[in-house]
Chain A
Amino acid sequence: MLMADMGAEIIRINLPFQSESNIDGIDTNNQIWEQWNRGQRSLELDYTQKTGFHALTQLIKTSDVIIEDWLPSKSKSLHLDFKTVQGINPKLLYCAMPPFGESGPLSDIPADDGIVSTIAGIHGDQGGKNFPPMYVKIPFVSYGTAFLASFAITTALFERESSNMGQKIEVPLYFGAIGMRPQYTIVTTNDSSLYSQSPTITSNSHQIRNPVYGLYECSDGWIFVAAGNEVFWGKFCSAIKMPELAEDKRFFGAPWNIPSENQAPLHEIIKPILKAKNKSYWLNELSNADVPSAPASDRSEFLSHPQVIHNEILVENNNPQIDATHQFGIPIKMSKTPGDIGKPIGLKSKDTWEILTALKFSKPQLIDMAQNKIIPQENCKES
């Protein structure tokens, strides 16, 4: 989707009868399919059959990039591993996005976002050391991996403009998990407990990172205060009318290096102050004092956020095939090449005949393929 928004012609290749998602909690109806695949065309093709594989070969010859997320053993058994594909088109960029890697002891272990995030420590770190893991609801590992892959593919496309040569790019989900929080992998040679788990105030560690960077409850709900540098810390002390805190030796090093034994006392000083007034009072006071802060809102409130509307990041849905009020906009604004969100993808069989006809398959050939269930019938509905 990210590359289609920016003008790449994407063909999504679907095996017949393949289900799009088998994880519950994620809708398997048209909404998410349309969201993530907009601007793409769809080809339904049984490339496990000889004629189907031949058709895919023709496509590979005329394409720049192939993206897959199979286990390495599966790409080999499909005869679609990098070596084979390189033999078909040496200029092709082959992007593999397996769960753990193209090699290594876990490479052929089936896994999804939940499993990879578990092994990478996403949920374990969220829960805190010596506490139960806490499941992180947004699948940010999958998203991060998709962003990293888009970046890696584009750098390889850039390089190929000069070298005229293809290559393989690997961006496993496991790498995406690390790439979204590399600082938590850090250990020093003589101290293995650096930074990653330091919930000094365990009872509040799901609300705050430190006493001046965390969620606070006001009389009518929660706000986040982010005094993320020394200047903001000073402004925060003034905004809550406690300028003496900035001079208090116990809290020197704020925001990031307050001695751990002094964090809880500071938290206890701030809590009742913020609790005494409502959210809008504090948001207003903090904003006037130029202290970064924001309310904790739910998704439906966010839809009407004036900046969301201004950024056109959640635009009115114009796709009749999605039963939704909004769809995601384009996250990157490029002044010369802005891109657009393209047409709906529609059914997974939709463009099959058109794509194959463009590859010079004749009508009798296509009819024959349809009869052998390698492709759907012409003008067919969802198979």
Chain B
Amino acid sequence: MSYPLEGIKVLDLGGYIAGAYCGTLLAESGADVIKIESESGDAFRSMGAPFNSWNRGKKALCLNLKHPEGRNILYQLVAQSDVVNENFRPGITHRLKIDYDTLKTHNPSIIYSSVTGYGSSGPFHNNPAFDPLMQAQSGIMVDQGGVENPPIYLRTAVSDYSAAILAAFGISMALFHRKRTGEGQLVETNLLNAATALQSAEFVSINDNQIDENHLGISATYRFYETSDEWIFISCSDDLSWKKICMFLDLKEFVNEFPSIKSRHQNSHKIAKSFSKIFKSKTAKTWESNLRKQGIRTGISRQMSEIHEEPQAKSTNMLTELKMPTSDNIRMSGLPFIFSRTPGKLSDVGAPTIGQHTDEILEGLGFAQTAIRSLKNKRIVI
């Protein structure tokens, strides 16, 4: 075997991020993933290049699931597949007759993953959802803004991504369980649970004793400082790092004045004031290299797109270039994991266009050219 999920067949009805990215993670673990879309396609195709992040490594089939013949094609595919992944609004899969209970009759050992906004049942389950709504309700935005300030929106779809990865985790657990027992099952997660998972510590220990460092960090010993050119992050909360940095910055008196995490916390503003003045005096690169020599944790603030210039990223195969059929090639991140014996499978082309592999997939099901043409004429496939 070359890949961890080699030979696993996935029908990916997912869209946006939470559904689609799950399919790409499975594809990058070696599964054969078919993205199935309606004629209008995944709404996030309109995002342009970012669409590749969530859909590279897949094949694409365009199928009208509202038509009985289209649905029958799906049933035939289900009979030959291992996993179905979807993130429709609750109710739609029942209406289309592609819910777990229906598909199970076509393949009893199918693993069916459903990612919803709020859950598949419960008082809010019918409400439409996007990532920021979960950020808003779960406290992430209010927390990020700080007391008395407007809430702040995180520029990362944290609950979408978490839900997608958790779904992929659930699917692989279900595959493992099926290998041992032969049993398929329904695997469900949702954006609300994912947003909660990202704050699992915060919810058991709701504390408001974080210090407002004007969005630069959470205390004087864990925050950004402005240098003569760029911004640098310093992490020196523990006693050992604290001693090291005080000695290095020539603030020996601070070692005894603020000997505990608690005392440093209480005097955060005073410490930050002294540190701010000192850090302004030299360049970020000078600070970074000198502090690292002392064993103090530090790093210079970057934009994520600067990763292409980062030697660490270049040296660990974190970057790739995808060939694009209709636009310029794009450079972006590679696989988010490394396996020593069964390496991940990184596509060298971007996301498929709508229905790019329709013919090939239907031929695989035994449809003759004439039958495919007739299906296309009826717009059951495209």
Mask of A63-78 contacts with B, CB within 8 angstroms, 1/0: 0000000000000000
Known: A151-B165, A178-B333. A187 touches B308 (CB 8 A): yes
The answer to whether A188 touches B338, judged by C-beta atoms less than 8 angstroms apart, is no
Residues of B within 8 A of A (CB): 1, 3-6, 16, 25, 29, 43, 46-50, 52-54, 118-119, 121-125, 127-130, 132-145, 150-158, 161-162, 165-170, 172-177, 179-180, 183-190, 192-194, 196-207, 210, 213, 215-219, 221-224, 226, 231, 233, 235, 237-239, 241, 261, 264-265, 292, 295, 297-308, 310-313, 315-316, 318-319, 321, 327-333, 335-342
Chain A 324-361 near chain B by CB (<8 Å), digits 1 or 0: 10111101111111000000000000000000000000
Q: Are B4 and A158 in contact (CB under 8 A)?
A: yes
Q: Are B206 and A332 in contact (CB under 8 A)?
A: no
- Within 8 Å by CB of A125, from B125, B155, B339, lies B155
Task: Assess whether B154 is in contact with A126, with CB atoms less than 8 Å apart.
Answer: yes
Q: Using Cβ atoms and an 8 Å threshold, which residues of chain B touch A207?
A: 150-153
Q: 8 Å CB contacts to B: which residues of A149-185?
A: 149-152, 154-159, 161-163, 165-172, 174-176, 178-185
> CB distance B330 to A186 under 8 Å?
yes
Return chain B residues, CB-CB under 8 Å to A174. 312-313, 318
Contact present for A310 and B141 (CB under 8 Å):
no
Contact B201 A140 (CB under 8 A): no
A-side contacts of B150, CB under 8 Å: 206-207, 215, 217, 222
Residues of B within 8 Å of A31, CB to CB, are 201, 204-205
When chains A and B are docked, how far (Å) is the Cα of A78 from the Cα of B186? 42
User: Which residue from A136, A290, A295, A335 sits with its C-beta under 8 Å from B154?
Assistant: A136
Could you tell me the distance in whole angstroms from the C-beta of B5 to the nearest C-beta in chain A?
6
Of listed A106, A138, A144, A292, residue having the most chain B CB within 10 A? A138
| A300 interface contact, C-beta 8 A | yes
Nearest B residue to A230 via CB reads B43
State the majority secondary structure of interface residues on A. Answer: mixed
- The chain A residue with its CB closest to the CB of B16 is A228
Assess the B204–A158 pair: CB atoms within 8 A: no
Chosen A-B contacts, 11 in total, with CB atoms closer than 8 Å, are A25-B237, A82-B340, A120-B302, A126-B155, A147-B197, A195-B48, A228-B43, A257-B46, A307-B119, A308-B196, A336-B174
Q: How far is the CB of A68 from chain B (nearest CB, A)?
A: 15
Contact at A292–B192, with CB atoms within 8 Å? Answer: no
Residue of A nearest to B51 (CB): A183
- Nearest neighbor of B341 in chain A, beta-carbon distance: A167
Residues of B within 8 A of A307 (CB): 118-119, 122-125, 192
Give bound CA distance, A162 to B180, whole Å.
11
| Contact B158 A187, beta carbon cutoff 8 Å | no
The total of interchain contacts (Cβ-Cβ below 8 angstroms) comes to 506
Given A158-B172, A175-B337, A138–B199 Cβ distance below 8 Å?
yes
Q: Is A333 a contact partner of B187 (Cβ separation < 8 A)?
A: yes
Q: Is the CB of A331 within 8 A of B166?
A: yes
Consensus secondary structure, chain B interface: mixed
Q: For A105, give the chain B residue with the smallest CB separation.
A: B311
Residues on A with beta carbons closer than 8 Å to the beta carbon of B176: 154, 157-158, 161
Q: Which of A181-215 contact B (CB under 8 A)?
A: 181-197, 206-209, 213-215
Chain A residues with CB under 8 A of B313:
174
In this complex, which of A178, A300, A301 has the most chain B Cβ atoms within 10 angstroms of its Cβ? A178
Task: Report, nearest first, the 9 A-B pairs whose CB atoms are least far apart.
Answer: A121-B304, A179-B336, A22-B238, A310-B122, A183-B50, A299-B139, A155-B4, A167-B341, A104-B315
Assuming A168-B341, A299-B206, what are 12 further A-B pairs, CB within 8 angstroms?
A23-B237, A24-B218, A27-B207, A36-B200, A118-B302, A119-B312, A140-B158, A178-B307, A179-B336, A181-B161, A188-B330, A206-B153
| Structural contact, B316 and A314, CB atoms closer than 8 A | no
Whether B193 contacts A156 by the Cβ 8 Å rule is no
Rounded to whole angstroms, the CA-CA distance of A369 and B49 in the bound complex is 60
Once bound together, how far apart are the Cα atoms of A150 and B172, in whole Å? 10
Cα of A208 to Cα of B176 in the assembled complex, Å? 42
* Contact with A208, one of B50, B153, B237, B333 (Cβ below 8 angstroms): B153
Q: Write out the residue numbers on chain A whose beta carbons fall within 8 Å of the beta carbon of B235.
A: 23, 111-112, 114-115
A327 to B204, CA, bound (A): 6
Q: Mark A215-226, 1 if CB is under 8 A from B, else 0.
A: 101000011101
Q: List the one stretch of A39-47, A127-135, A240-248, A259-267 in contact with chain B.
A: A127-135
Least distance between B311 CB and chain A CB atoms (Å)? 5
- Chain A nearest CB: distance from B207 CB in Å? 7
Q: Tell whether A334 pairs with B305 under 8 Å between CB atoms, given A188-B330, A213-B132.
A: no
| Other-chain residue from B153, B218, B308 in contact with A137 (beta carbon distance below 8 A) | B218
CA gap between A327 and B206 in the complex, in Å:
11
Pick the contact of B170: A256, A310, A334 (CB < 8 A).
A334
- What residues on A are CB-neighbors of B4 within 8 Å? 152, 155-156, 158-159
Q: Kindly name the residue among A125, A133, A166, A197 whose own CB sees the greatest number of chain B CB atoms within 10 A.
A: A133
B333 and A185 form a contact (CB under 8 A): yes
Q: Chain A residues with Cβ under 8 A from B336's Cβ? A: 148, 171, 175-176, 178-179, 182
A298 on the interface (CB 8 Å rule)? yes
- CB proximity of B235 to chain A, nearest CB, Å: 5
CB neighbours (8 Å) of A82 from chain B are 340
Once the chains bind, are A115 and B127 in contact (CB under 8 Å)? no
For A105, the chain B residues whose CB sits under 8 A away are 311-312, 315
Please indicate the chain B residues that have their CB under 8 angstroms from the CB of A182 in the complex.
53, 332-333, 336
With known contacts A135-B218, A180-B161, A296-B151, A35–B226 Cβ distance under 8 A? no
**Residues from chain B with Cβ under 8 Å of A287 in the complex:** 127
Q: How far is B338's CA from A149's CA once the two chains are assembled, in angstroms?
A: 10
Beta-carbon contact of B297 and A111 below 8 Å: yes
CB distance from B155 to the nearest CB of A (A): 6
B138: chain A residues at CB < 8 Å are: 297, 299, 302
Contact of B201 among A26, A171, A186 (CB under 8 A): A26
> A336 to nearest B CB, angstroms?
4
B315 to chain A, nearest CB (A): 4
Q: Do A179 and B161 touch across chains, with their CB atoms under 8 A apart?
A: yes
Question: How distant is the Cα of A109 from the Cα of B318 in the complex, in angstroms?
Answer: 18
